Amino acid sequence: MTGKVGIFGGTFNPFHHGHLNCLLTVAEKSNLVNVVVVPANSNPLKEQVEGPTAQQRFDMTAVALQDYPELVELSDFEIKREGPSYTIDTLNHYREKYEASDLNLIVGMDSFEVFDQWKDYETILTECNLLVATRPGLQMPFTVDDLPEGLQPLVEDFDRQFIALKTGRHIEFIRLKDSETSATDVRKRLRTGRSVTKHLDMRVEEYIKEHKLYQPVGPKIGDYEQFTRFCAQFLLDRKSIDVKAFDLRELSAVSEFTLITSGTSTRHASSLASNLIEKVKEEYGVLPENLEGTKEGRWVLIDYGALIIHVFYDYVRQEYRLEELWKDGAQLELPSALENK
């Protein structure tokens, strides 16, 4: 095949209208003749959450893309390869089929902002161009200083929508039509029984229902007050700072219970969160429905449905003062916390 080819990877958990909007818009504006969609086996920069298997994510993506056989090539390369999915390995695989001059890697702006954390990112930018799809709420860089730090030395010439690189490749920014769909929101909607008609292909939704995916973790957890106390006790035992638990059932809140605590450093906060997730998996057999911030450790959010846990680096916690949001809720007494005062 000759002509410009796009490589579009991701966890696709699940593949939704935002992904499709990105694929079709970038293909049209960049004159791509083919887009290779590569569901990841495991994204090394994303935390593991409760959800479908890699094969089920692949199958849902196949269902969503079945109307675009002439444009889309769906690849199971990363899933068959198993282990963490690194883009450099996928590009090396497709370099056997396509010329480097034809290859274009499609990423979202959120991924671009941490692109210099990707394995061998400099080598990636010798093998392909980068097509960055802008999403609502995320601004394009205004100057070289707004780029990820590792990319700044690679810039030959900067023009807001087009960056020439010293590697001979380029970065192009492509504006998408507004789409508020995110995988996190779709998973939340599915688990709480809300409509996803505006966000998912109907056939994907049917697949999800048939395979009973994205079920709430609540039935496995059972008594959420007891679960909240279990998590609080674990954090106290790990020398977490100022553990507070709130019952929010009388308030209009996004969860029924919440926990807030701090670590002495970002590393300590990340460690507390990771160890808690491990303990809950061991005792209850569930992973969080959503998880954010464990890599940075400034503010880790662990979502177990009716319980949301916030683990802060203590300095950052003082900035946000989240406890004030829940001052009208009932603070749960934690015996160990009282004993440690």
Residues of the chain with pLDDT > 90, as a percent, come to: 73
**Cα four-point dihedral sign 266, 267, 270, 271:** negative
Average pLDDT over residues 184-195: 90
111: left (phi over 0), alpha (psi -120 to 50) or beta: alpha
What is the per-residue pLDDT for 229?
A: 96
Looking at residue 1, its pLDDT comes to 52
pLDDT of residue 81: 85
Task: Quick: pLDDT tens for 107-123.
Answer: 999 899 999 999 999 99
Query: Which of 325 and 181 is assigned the larger pLDDT?
Result: 325
pLDDT greater than 60 at residue 334 = yes
pTM of the shown model = 0.83
Smallest CA-to-CA distance from 151 within 163, 134, 136, 135 is with 163
Measured from the Cβ of residue 278, the count of other Cβ atoms closer than 10 Å reads 12
| Across 213-238, average pLDDT | 95
DSSP for residue 108: E
User: CATH topology for 219-339?
Assistant: Beta Polymerase; domain 2 (3.30.460)
CB of 284 closer than 8 Å to CB of 206: no
User: pLDDT tens digits, residue range 65-96?
Assistant: 999 999 999 999 999 987 777 899 999 998 88
CATH topology of domain 5-175: Rossmann fold (3.40.50)
pLDDT-based confidence at 177, cuts 50/70/90?
confident
Cα–Cα distance, 143 to 151 (Å, whole number): 12
CA–CA distance from 27 to each of 13, 20, 68, 106 (Å)?
22, 11, 12, 10
Which residue, among 106, 98, 126, has the nearest Cα to 3 in the 3D structure?
98
List the domain boundaries for the chain.
Answer: 5-175, 219-339
Amino acid identity at 185: D
Please provide the average confidence, as pLDDT, over all residues in the chain. 91
pLDDT at 219: 94
Give residue-wise pLDDT tens across range 253-294. 889 999 999 999 999 999 999 999 999 999 999 999 999 998
